[in-house]
A = this chain, B = another copy of it.
Amino acid sequence: MRDVLADWQPVIDDAIAEVLPREIDEQYLADFFGAPTYAYDPDAIQQALSDPIWELLDRGGKRWRAVLAAQLFEGFGADPTDYLQYAIIPEILHNGTIIVDDVEDGASKRRGGPALHLEYGTDIALNAGNAMYFLPLKIITRNGGDLDAETRLEIYEMLMYELNRTHLGQGMDIWWHNEKEIQATEAEYCEMGACKTGCIGRIVARLPAIITGQTNEVEQRVAEYAEQMSIAFQIGDDILDIEHTLDQAGEFGKEFGNDIREGKKTLMAIHAAEHASASDTARLEEILWADTNTDEEIMEAIEIYQSAGSIDYARERAEAMARQARERLPDEQLDPAIAERLAAFTRFVIERDK
């Protein structure tokens, strides 16, 4: 899986560079955004958009959303290299959310470097992140000649459905951070994941299904595959945060005990609140709620998770979600070799850093 991702990355980055070049000039601006009424300032756009965005992309990231979209195009019998311009849409959206999330969370690090807002300022970073919400949507229009009007509209309506739910998921997650009591249920947690992470996953899956003309049922099945896998990924990410804290591995690009410091109501926190003793739950809520935590407090919270069996439970749920994701794959409509690879993805997302 790692090889597949590594093979695709340069090709995907080339496709992104066609939409947002590393070097901005007037010609690109006029072609992509339309002729100016007066005069663009290409140098300002270079510094305000291209430089920060390419810095983030060049720091890494596996581009798995674009790779997965490319695989789905191939699975549906299309040559994925003909559709890379569409495969990068969810990838750019995702990287935009990373910049915005880091501002929202006051994060200090990202992909081994300072969070973008610390390097470029909140203003530049945030505008670049938000530009990445709209820039990829322009691709549908810009290359509209490739897609008929009905398909373009179907894509826009799909995108508006998914991108609205993204903000519901993020809103739920943030609000829970800001509450002391752990009130969310497991179902609400799963919905949060389905919206916050899952909606961009669903875009990954629905775009190739729409563009290659699959039935609504097939589109729905791959959307569910991506949604379940995204929730599994989200839970896996939360487990990784704990595991890396236990390993004290500083190379993860995140802080020690990051999720606990942020007060994130992970599935582990929700499970612990339901299964730990009242005093452990109260202590856990205390630690998650505090503005700052000592390393000892971080370890104390993790021990509460461990003794309530919450880490194991979360791992089981992630595995079950990944299994459900595999079952949603419309195997009969997919090239068998690709179907196998898509199934392998569901394992990869929860085992990726072991």
Does residue A277 face the partner (Cβ distance < 8 Å to B)? no
A105 surroundings in chain B (CB, below 8 A): 123
Write the nearest CB–CB distance from A34 to chain B, whole angstroms: 6
When distances are taken between beta carbons in the complex, the residues of chain B under 8 Å from A178 are: 121, 123-124
Given A127-B170, A167-B127, A171-B128: A39 in contact with B185 (beta carbons within 8 A): yes
Tell me the bound Cα distance from A44 to B134 in angstroms. 26
Q: Which B residues are CB-close (under 8 A) to A157?
A: 141, 144, 152
Is A137 close to B, CB under 8 A? yes
Q: Is the beta-carbon distance between A141 and B126 smaller than 8 angstroms?
A: no
Pair A38/B191 contact, Cβ less than 8 Å: yes
Give the bracket for the number of chain A residues in contact with chain B: 35 or more
Query: Which among B122, B152, B167, B185 is the interface contact of A153 at CB below 8 angstroms?
Result: B152
- Interface mask (A28-71 → B, CB under 8 Å = 1, otherwise 0): 01000110111111001101110000000000000000000000
Copies of the protein in its oligomer: 2
Does A334 make an interface contact (CB < 8 A)? no
Q: Is A320 an interface residue (CB 8 A)?
A: no
**CA A175 – CA B131 in complex, angstroms?**
14
Q: A41-B192, A44-B172, A131-B171 are in contact. List 10 more A-B contacts (CB 8 A).
A: A40-B191, A48-B172, A49-B168, A103-B103, A121-B178, A123-B174, A123-B177, A126-B126, A138-B161, A141-B161
Would you mind naming 28 contact pairs between A and B with Cβ atoms under 8 Å apart? Answer: A33-B165, A33-B168, A36-B194, A37-B191, A38-B191, A40-B168, A40-B172, A40-B188, A41-B184, A41-B191, A44-B175, A44-B184, A48-B175, A49-B168, A103-B103, A103-B126, A104-B127, A124-B174, A131-B168, A134-B163, A137-B164, A138-B160, A138-B161, A138-B164, A149-B150, A149-B153, A152-B156, A152-B157
